[in-house]
Amino acid sequence: MIPSRTVAALLFLTLGLPAGAGEIQGTCLLRFRGVSTLHEFSGTVRCQPFSADLPETAAGGMGIRGVEVDVMVDGMDSGNRTRDGQMREMLESDRFPRIHGTVREIDVAGIRRAVRVGGGGTASFDLALRIRDVERTIRAAVTNLREEGDQVGFDVEFPVSLEEFGLKAPSFLGMFRVRDKVTVRGNVRLKVSSKE
């Protein structure tokens, strides 16, 4: 149910920039999927627009020191009002309206090599995900790198354990319960520009 900053991984797509300082501006659409006692469910949420600087690294390549991405809990939509209400209650959206993700020290060249534009490779990065007042580091996978001009896109996927974040899964009639693991998949789109 919880999307994240996973989108931070996008930064690695900083491909066609000349050596020197640049910037990315990004958006993402996240899809969450879970299983309850009776059926599967899914939903979507858009991340808030984000940006990050792309400084030149000591080795002469491009890197990203960090990127932060937020999703608004009230923007999470499973298409079922009752389920969405239970989800917001579980996440305490009145007290914690955002889910926050941070990715630090992104090795753009390393991710590009691993994913291989046009190929079927996978890269990964550590995502610090904060849900309510609990932060955990999750390993996120990056695939399907796409580049066209100053536009970069890629997909990201990571698991979220409700229990690890101190969340009690919603239940219905006390016997039908959402399972602990939720899978989050996202499509990240970046616009890369030089700062001149």
Q: Over 31-82, what HEC string results?
A: EEEEEECCCEEEEEEEECCEEEEECECCCCCEEEEEEEEEEEHHHCECCCHH
Fold topology of 5-194: Lipocalin (2.40.128)
Domains in the chain: boundaries: 5-194
Segment 132-161, tens digit of pLDDT: 999 999 999 999 888 888 898 999 999 999
pTM given for the model = 0.81
| Cα–Cα–Cα angle for 185, 189, 192, rounded to 5 degrees | 145
pLDDT tens digits along 55-93: 766 565 566 778 999 999 999 999 999 889 999 999 999
**Bridge partners, residue 159, by sequence:** 183
Highest mean pLDDT among 9-13, 36-40, 153-157 belongs to 153-157
